[in-house]
């Protein structure tokens, strides 16, 4: 469990710089319209109830991390194409995705060992491959804005 907490703290610490790096790399108008373009108003983001039981929280955390891992993978792929020179952003995205993979494994292990939960239904974000470039930029920004907000709540809940 301490490992999960550590990973959450690590993600919570890096979420802010990742968010900033992202919207900076997209160019204007993103840095000056973060609240409009990157507001955390994703409707399909998995919910999280910090007052729930540990089991519930772990299940919700698993869903969130699974959702984020998939979405951030898409964002990473898009940014490699769109901003090939934004190496700092790429490294931050890769590091975040790597931690999430580890976290996902640890959460599942915890659920399995302690609560005998071997399977959790997860949801993923919408497919953005057909979206135009601006939409991809915006959705990525919204995702990271939401991630930054949610991860702080999740990190405190554990």
Q: 24, 31 in Cβ contact below 8 A?
A: yes
Reference 101, options 11, 21, 26, 32; nearest CA is 11
CA angle 31, 72, 81 (to 5 degrees): 70
Min separation Cβ 149 and other proteins, Å: 15
Residue 116 φ/ψ region, left for φ over 0, alpha for ψ in the -120 to 50 degree band, beta for the rest: left
Q: Residue from 16, 17, 27, 126 that binds other proteins (CB under 8 A)? A: 27
Min separation Cβ 97 and other proteins, Å: 21
Q: What residues from 139 to 158 belong to the interface with other proteins (CB under 8 A)?
A: 142
Q: Residue from 33, 91, 105, 123 that binds other proteins (CB under 8 A)? A: 33
Min separation Cβ 147 and other proteins, Å: 16
Residue placing its CB nearer to other proteins in the complex, 20 or 157:
20
Residue placing its CB nearer to other proteins in the complex, 55 or 90:
90
Compute the distance between CA of residue 34 and CA of residue 130 in angstroms, rounded to an integer: 24
Q: What residues from 55 to 84 belong to the interface with other proteins (CB under 8 A)?
A: 81-84
């Amino acid at each position: 469990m301490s490992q999960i907490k550590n990973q959450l703290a690590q993600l919570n610490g890096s979420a802010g710089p990742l968010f900033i790096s992202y919207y900076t790399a997209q160019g204007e108008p993103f840095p000056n319209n973060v609240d409009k373009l990157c507001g955390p108003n994703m409707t399909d983001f998995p919910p999280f109830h910090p007052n729930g039981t540990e089991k519930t929280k772990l299940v919700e955390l698993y869903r969130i991390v699974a959702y984020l891992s998939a979405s951030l993978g898409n964002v990473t792929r898009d940014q490699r194409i769109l901003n090939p020179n934004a190496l700092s952003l790429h490294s931050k995205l890769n590091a975040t995705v790597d931690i999430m993979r580890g976290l996902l494994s640890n959460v599942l292990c915890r659920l399995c060992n302690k609560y005998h939960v071997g399977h959790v239904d997860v949801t993923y974000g919408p497919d953005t491959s057909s979206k135009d470039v601006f939409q991809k930029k915006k959705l990525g920004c919204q995702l990271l804005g939401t991630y930054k907000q949610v991860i702080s709540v999740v990190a405190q809940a554990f």
